[in-house]
Structures are given as C-alpha cells and as structure tokens.
Amino acid sequence: DVLLNLWKAYPKFRKECKVSTWIYRIALNTCISFYRKEKNVPEIVSLTKDTDWTIEAHDPINEMLKQLYQMINQLGQLDKSIILLYLEDKSYEEIAEITGLTVTNVATKLSRIKDKLKRMKKEE
C-alpha cells in the first residue's frame, strides 16, 4: 500500500522537503489510514525481540543499548516514534514534518522524553 501511494503521489511531490521526509510522511499517513479503516490494533513488537546483536553479550555498550531500547519500548507510541526518529539522525524539522507536530513541539517533547528516560534509568 505504501509503495502504491508513493507511486500515486509522486506527480504531486513539490520538492519542498527531502525525499526521505516525504516518503516517511506518505508511509505514516498510509499506515494511519489503514489503522483507521480496519479498526485493528496493530501488533506491537518489542524492540528487544529478535534483535540481531552482533556484539558480544557481555559488552558494556551492548548492555547499555539493550537497556535503552527496553526503556524506549515502555514509552507511548508518539514518544517512541519521536525518539526513534531522533536516533535515526532526523532533524527537528524532518521529525516535525513526519509526525505533523511543530518544530517547537518536537523540541519540547524530545526534551521531556530524554528527561523521562533519565528518570527511568535512575529508578533501576
């Protein structure tokens, strides 16, 4: 469905943003539309399941990454989306375009998400 919608929407692409941002937005809208039509709750897959960790199990960096993704997995859907886009090195502007939020709102939410993750780390 996403590829079909990308194909259909390409003639209307105005090149006002990066192609990757435009693709994210089409994909996100397609998924949201599917969810609304079907009224199905999509299966939520844990970020830690079946993850191919190529580093040794006792590596401290690997352990920290596992812990980070476990904490991210506990966040709400929007917060999880925002932080994962941030971790993919998307700019605040790109995250705003993808999620439909304002740049200021993205910055505020990211700050709060980081604080929440710090609190979660301290509680462990």
- End-to-end distance of the chain based on CA atoms, in angstroms? 42
Contacts 24+ apart (CB under 8 A), 48-53: 48/73
pLDDT in tens, 74-116: 888 889 989 988 988 889 998 888 888 899 999 999 999 999 9
Q: What is the mean pLDDT of the chain?
A: 80
Give the per-residue pLDDT at 115: 93
Map residue 115 onto helix, strand or coil: helix
Query: Rg of the chain's alpha carbons, rounded to an integer?
Result: 17
Please write the tens of the pLDDT for every residue from 61-77.
778 888 888 888 888 88
Query: How does 34-57 read in b/e, with b if 16+ C-beta sit within 10 Å?
Result: eeeeeeeeeeeeebeeeeeeeeee
- The answer on pLDDT for 53 being more than 60 is no
pTM, rounded to two decimals:
0.56
